[in-house]
Amino acid sequence: MENQKKLKVLMIGPDRSVHGGISGVVNNYYEAGLDRKIDLCYIGTMVEGSKFRKLGQAAKAFCLFCIKLPCYDIVHVNMASDSSYYRKSLFIKAAKHAGKKIVIHQHGGDFETFYYNEQSDRGRKKIDKVLSMGDAFLVLAPVWKEFFGAMVPKDRITVLPDSIKVPEQGQKEYGQHKILFLGRLCREKGIGELLEIMPDLRERYPEAELYLGGIWEDAGLKAQAEKYPEFITWLGWISGEEKKKYLQMCDIFVLPSYFEGQSVSILEAMAYACAIAAAETGGIPQMITDGDTGLLVATKDAKSLQKGLESLLADAGLCRRLGERARKKVSEEFSIENNMEQLLKIYRKVSGLS
């Protein structure tokens, strides 16, 4: 415990108000009391809004980071790909120059496309050099340990799955045919395929309803959803008690993403014992074992998605079995308490305190 008190960590990532997975992870750490176990300072490097607003936030965050840097021993960098990588690389280089220990926490589910399709050989070498500046490199699933092992020494890479605070178990009513989606409302999340199959599902199961929690990023998809107000409800971005309400109310959860690092929303659905149909991509198979803790469907495949959802709509008993097993798995493997203890061990290791 004494060692934990000595840890001084400067953490960066998107502002805690941003609607997204990394902010959710950081907020979960705060809710679980990480800031009470260590001397933690968090700096938000990105906010939502115009490019000018985002640029202003990045500049302000970097200035604050440079002021705070001498007072902290460890820099924890929460990173995705694309602009997130370019922005965070500046912070990593500054921390390295200052002789700080660096923990790089990679959350991005589409880093492969960014690395192989959008970079030249020279660009990839630069990325390898920056990522190798980390004293510890955290990934969300074993598949990413293999992927980043080509860029970063494997002995520095640790699999640290996302985690959540598991709620008290409540009563779940299966067979209601209430389907919930939480996340960005865009094509990359499989919303196009989901909207494509909903009219047919509604025809076969007249009580089926779809609830979409998130912010629209595609006007065409929004217009498509608005054609069916009788069975598709847009909730906006929901959090707190409102999110808990829908996770408890809905018996089915769906996430047909094209790519995922890992999904906090799936963990939340598991914790509320939802029957889950999710895409077999990224870190999702680490959470969902097909036929045991949920159903896996093919990416970008409306027919596979429809088959998975029909299996759940047709069988309340299957939903119950999958939901109960999912809750058991998330309680045993993805609790925020276990995750936080692992993170503290990583901090102590890079600090030379263990």
- The CATH number assigned to the domain holding 115 equals 3.40.50.2000
Task: For residue 6, give every residue at least 6 positions away whose Cβ sits within 8 Å of its Cβ, in sequence order, or none.
Answer: 351, 353
Average pLDDT over residues 221-229: 97
Which residue segment(s) compose the domain that 278 sits in? 178-333
Q: How far is C-alpha 25 from the geometric centre of its chain's CA atoms?
A: 7
172 falls within a domain: no
Q: Are 142 and 200 in the same domain?
A: no
Residue carrying the six token digits 């990173």: 79
In three state form, how does the secondary structure of 195-244 look? HHHHHHHHHHCCCCEEEEECCECCHHHHHHHCCCCCCEEEEECCCHHHHH
Overall domain count for the chain: 2
Q: Are 267 and 164 in contact (CB under 8 A)?
A: yes
Q: Are 282 and 347 in the same domain?
A: no
Q: Which pLDDT does position 5 carry in this prediction?
A: 54
Burial (CB < 10 A; 0-12, 13-18, 19+), residue 195, is: buried
169 falls within a domain: no
The C-alpha atoms of residue 142 and residue 126 are separated, in whole angstroms, by 24
Q: Which pLDDT does position 353 carry in this prediction?
A: 84
CA Rg, the chain, in Å? 21
Q: Are 12 and 69 in the same domain?
A: yes
**Global pTM value:** 0.83
Q: Are 161 and 335 in contact (CB under 8 A)?
A: no
Structure tokens at 27: 């907020």
pLDDT in tens, 197-212: 999 999 999 999 999 9
pLDDT in tens, 274-331: 999 999 998 899 999 999 999 999 999 999 999 999 999 999 999 999 999 999 999 9
pLDDT in tens, 72-117: 999 999 999 999 999 999 999 999 999 999 999 999 878 999 999 9
Task: For residue 214, give every residue at least 6 positions away whose Cβ sits within 8 Å of its Cβ, in sequence order, or none.
Answer: 19, 181, 182, 183, 184, 185, 189, 235, 236, 237
The C-alpha atoms of residue 282 and residue 142 are separated, in whole angstroms, by 9
170 falls within a domain: no
Q: Are 43 and 187 in the same domain?
A: no
Q: Are 48 and 92 in the same domain?
A: yes
DSSP string, 58-98: HHHHHHHHHHHGGG-SEEEEEE-STHHHHHHHHHHHHHHHT
**Exposure string (b/e) for 150-187, b if CB count within 10 Å is 16 or more?**
ebbeeebbbebbbbbebeeeeebebbbbbbbbbbbbbe
Angle made by CA atoms 137, 141, 142, in degrees to the nearest 5: 90
160 falls within a domain: yes
Q: Are 63 and 156 in the same domain?
A: yes
* Other C-beta atoms lying within 10 Å of the C-beta of residue 129: 12
Q: Which pLDDT does position 261 carry in this prediction?
A: 81
